[in-house]
Chains A and B, each alone.
Chain A
Amino acid sequence: MNTNMSHETSNNSAARATRPTAAAEPRVLVPVVDVLESAEQITVLADLPGVRAEDVKLHLEKELLTLVAEYNGTLFDGPVHYKRTFQVPSHIDADGIEAKSDNGVLTLRFPRHASAQPRSVPVTSRG
């Protein structure tokens, strides 16, 4: 039997039975984001209220970065899962992507490749 949860469908009751039946289904929301651009990097700020750093998962596959975050607290009506996918431009250095969580806001930094950053070109005179 396939127990891989990622292949679970809504009517797959066999896979679902491993969960406690009383647990509410999470609400799935797309987090709101701001995107900032500078010469060196692109910065994405995502509102994830109540989400702790350890409950954020980032998955990069080819040029797609998927953000999945879970709020499993009991303060609201039930758990909330946040999910959003970003296309990372080719001028971004994927190895340099950084993530940080602060006051319920996730900051993602996407540095541009060094070759894509502006640099000053020295001008020499022939004298």
Chain B
Amino acid sequence: MLSPLFDFNERFRLFDSFERQADRVFAGQGPSSPRMILRDTGDDLHLVAELPGVAENDLDISLESDVLTLRVAGDRQVPSGHKLIRSERPSMRMVRQVELPVRVDTDNLQATLRDGILELKLPKAKEARPRKIPVLGAPATQSKPD
């Protein structure tokens, strides 16, 4: 605990609390809901999630039938001798579940966590991949005369 003598009544100030709140509303970043996008790239599903502060060991990814689960178990600790005087960052602890729209090839999942962004590549199961269907026209029997 800091005594007022060393506090000088002069706080660390942030200038833009109003702006910040407005931004959070528009960005849709509520507490514990990092930005997450699932894309269909044709042969793959591609999931991207913001997980700032999360290390590889904190993250658990599992797939059960069509439900993908991201789980971060650990959470941040305030180091001893420190006091948290402002807390805006959402808790690291979270569980997010996503129902995948198609079956995926579970043997070839690929996950990368870099600078607090998770990239997950989920190749679709063979039967779920797009197939090109040839369109047959009438056979060209004759070339057009000049």
| A contact set with B: CB distance below 8 Å | 27, 29-30, 32-39, 42-45, 47-52, 73, 75-76, 84-91, 101, 103-105, 110, 112, 116-118
CB closest residue in chain A, given B81: A38
Query: Is the pair B2, A37 in contact by a Cβ cutoff of 8 Å?
Result: yes
Select one of B24, B53, B76, B119 contacting A104, CB under 8 A: B53
Q: Knowing A32-B24, A33-B86, A36-B84 touch, does A87 contact B116 (C-beta < 8 A)?
A: no
Complex formed: what's the CA distance from A27 to B14 in Å?
20
Query: Is the pair B6, A116 in contact by a Cβ cutoff of 8 Å?
Result: yes
Question: Any chain A CB within 8 A of the CB of B37?
Answer: yes
Query: Is the pair B86, A89 in contact by a Cβ cutoff of 8 Å?
Result: no
**Which of chain B's residues 24-64 have a Cβ closer than 8 Å to chain A?**
24, 27, 29, 34-35, 37, 48, 50-55
Residues of A within 8 A of B75 (CB): none
Query: Is the pair B79, A29 in contact by a Cβ cutoff of 8 Å?
Result: no
Complex formed: what's the CA distance from A51 to B87 in Å?
21
| B contact set with A: CB distance below 8 Å | 2-3, 6, 8, 10-16, 19-20, 23-24, 27, 29, 34-35, 37, 48, 50-55, 76, 78-79, 81-90, 113, 115-117, 119
Shortest distance from the beta carbon of B132 to any chain A beta carbon, whole Å: 27
Complex formed: what's the CA distance from A90 to B139 in Å?
85
Complex formed: what's the CA distance from A104 to B48 in Å?
14
Query: Is the pair A43, B82 in contact by a Cβ cutoff of 8 Å?
Result: yes
Complex formed: what's the CA distance from A122 to B111 in Å?
58
Select one of B14, B53, B85, B117 contacting A84, CB under 8 A: B14
Query: Is the pair A39, B115 in contact by a Cβ cutoff of 8 Å?
Result: no
Known: A44-B12, A90-B10, A116-B8. 19 other contacts (CB 8 A): A32-B24, A32-B88, A32-B89, A33-B89, A34-B88, A36-B78, A36-B84, A36-B85, A38-B82, A47-B89, A49-B115, A50-B115, A50-B116, A51-B115, A85-B15, A89-B10, A101-B115, A104-B52, A105-B53
